[in-house]
Chains A and B, each alone.
Chain A
Amino acid sequence: MTAPAAHLQQTALNSVHRRMGARMVPFGGWDMPVEYSGIIPEHLAVRRAAGLFDVSHMGELDIRGPQALDLVQWVCCNDANRLAIGQAQYSGLMTEQGTFVDDLLVHKLANDHYWLVVNAANTDADFAHIQAHNRFDAQVTNASARYAQLALQGPRALEILQPLTAMPLAAIQYYWFAHGQVLGVDAVIARTGYTGEDGFELYFAPQHAERLWTALLAAGEAAGLIACGLGARNTLRLEAGMALYGHEIDAATMPWEANLGWICKMTKPGFLGQDRLAAAKANPPARRLVGFEMAEPGIARDGYPILSAGDGSPDAAAIGRVTSGSPAPFLGKNIGMAYVPPAAAQPGTQLKIGIRQRAAAAVVTPLPFYRRGKGGGTDNAPAGAHAGGNAAAPPA
């Protein structure tokens, strides 16, 4: 079996993934499992039962001090002042231009303690960016090495996890978290995720990773839980219409272009890029992120050109680009997200997408593509669903 390349970082579960026969790929500077039994069965397991993901590559940044909130408020566009202790919030880490350094989850642990979960590939840059803009009485620590992170996702996640913890999991609302023990291991138990399903993300010391991973898989086996890789994580978040940094959003993206106006609180006290965003908001955006479904055979992949609205030849100039495109295993369609001119952003608009030598028909589709049904007391509302909403989290 191939050894991981020396320059790649490894999670605490690297040898477990290899022993289990996962296909490993470089991702964001990490040697990560892309699939175990296959992206399709893993995707379907999460929609119908549950899946377990090692997402320990994600970064954790700790912000403490009397002005911890002021620092979070200054660098992030969502309003962290609305958070109660134990609540989490999807937000954007902003450049001075009002574009994205990263997207992240802000957790409020205490009045003087916030905890940011950020994308693996951006962790170092995020840490440097926050430090560079730290003119407050607050200390920033890159705590990533202190945490393993497992995501247990799917409609049966709660019943699988509950026997392993005394924490009453049903009491943790969507986008809230609690400190508890899982099999005696101190953990942050957060009801968050990146799949469009109910589920939990567990953060704990890496030396316990193998024991918890193995115990969770065993505890969930009868319920249909299987190990899942980053391939299914990507198709699941795409069906749920959620942005992926480097695809839908980057340092050239303003929030409302990406349907993320709901995380951009223009009326809160100042934040990085707010003035630029206020000025830009006077003009309609030049492009909009939309969802699309292929109307002809073919899979529109990341980077493929949008040739036109309506007719289009394979030689037509691009009017936009696909940001993410893939078969959607649960929906059984070929879907994607793309930037298009606002005139082509209405659902129902016919698009032509350049797939190699061919112009293939697609149609603009409302986001999200997939929304899970109500049940268990919480309603999932992934990214596309809550434009204009102002709750800390996707509203319940």
Chain B
Amino acid sequence: MASYPSQYRYTKEHEWISAEDGRGTVGITDYAQQQLGDVVYVEMPKTGAELKSAQAFGTVESVKAVSEIFSPVSGKVEEVNPDLTAAPELINQDPHGRGWLVKVQLANPAELDSLMSAAEYEQFIAAQRLD
């Protein structure tokens, strides 16, 4: 099982963000990709799109299911992972690394403080597993 990087922040919808100097990289967590199964298709916004915190901005699909992706922060999309079109399975293989979705210019870095730490997120998913 992949570990949850301690420098990342996490949402209850199972996205992660790695932020530095007002820019962030966003992806879905290992837990999310496990729940989804083999990812076969990704729909992401275009570069320049404005994201709003906690609002859906794209979808990740497995054979069985569609999962909406919610933005951890507000900001402008600077880059979309170009490798996912040809290789959406990167999300399964390396969810916290090469399977990243978008890079964002943060509108309000203080939003990061409302997200979960790795330890909090691991407690959160442990509780979900017991449901």
Contact = CB atoms under 8 A, between A and B. Distances in A.
Interface string B46-72: 000000000000010111101000000
A39 B63 contact: yes
A299 interface: yes
A368 interface: no
Nearest to B130: A2
A174 to B, nearest CB: 28
A360 to B, nearest CB: 11
Contact of A301 (B40, B66, B130): B66
Interface string A284-302: 0000000000000111010
A329 B64 contact: no
A235 B40 CA distance: 14
Given A23-B37, A35-B37, A329 B131 contact: no
Interface of B: 37-38, 40-41, 43, 59, 61-64, 66, 129-131
Contacts of A231: 37, 63-64
Given A39-B63, A326-B64, 11 more contacts: A2-B130, A2-B131, A23-B37, A34-B64, A35-B64, A39-B62, A40-B63, A231-B64, A299-B40, A299-B41, A301-B66
Interface centre among B37, B43, B63 (most CB of A within 10 A): B63
B38 A39 contact: yes
B129 A2 contact: yes
Interface string A57-72: 0000000000000000
Nearest to A358: B43
A298 B66 CA distance: 11
B82 to A, nearest CB: 15
A327 interface: yes
A327 B41 contact: yes
B58 to A, nearest CB: 10
Interface centre among B37, B62, B64 (most CB of A within 10 A): B64
Contacts of B38: 38-40
Contacts of A299: 40-41, 61, 66
A19 interface: no
A298 B42 CA distance: 9
B66 A39 contact: no
How many residues of A sit at the interface, in one of the four size bands?
A: 20 to 34
Contacts of B61: 299
Contacts of B129: 1-2
Contacts of A35: 37, 64
Nearest to A230: B64
B66 A327 contact: no
Nearest to B61: A299
A297 B41 contact: yes
B37 A38 contact: yes
A298 B63 contact: no
A141 to B, nearest CB: 35
B41 A298 contact: yes
Nearest to B42: A297
A297 B64 CA distance: 16
A7 interface: no
Nearest to B56: A356
B127 to A, nearest CB: 11
B4 to A, nearest CB: 20
Interface hub of A34, A40, A235, A334 (most chain B Cβ within 10 A): A40
B99 to A, nearest CB: 16
A99 B102 CA distance: 49
Interface in A18-40: 23, 34-35, 38-40
Interface in A280-331: 297-299, 301, 326-327, 329
17 contacts: A2-B129, A2-B131, A34-B64, A35-B37, A35-B64, A38-B38, A39-B64, A40-B38, A40-B40, A297-B41, A299-B40, A299-B41, A299-B61, A326-B64, A327-B63, A334-B41, A356-B43
A231 B38 CA distance: 12
Nearest to A356: B59
Contacts of B43: 298, 356
B37 A327 contact: no
A327 B37 CA distance: 13
> What 4 pairs between A and B have smallest CB-CB spacing?
A39-B63, A38-B38, A327-B40, A231-B64
Contacts of A38: 37-38
Contact of A329 (B59, B63, B66, B130): B63
Interface string A38-65: 1110000000000000000000000000
Contacts of B41: 297-299, 327, 334
Contacts of B63: 39-40, 231, 235, 326-327, 329
Contacts of A1: 129
A290 B62 CA distance: 24
B69 to A, nearest CB: 12
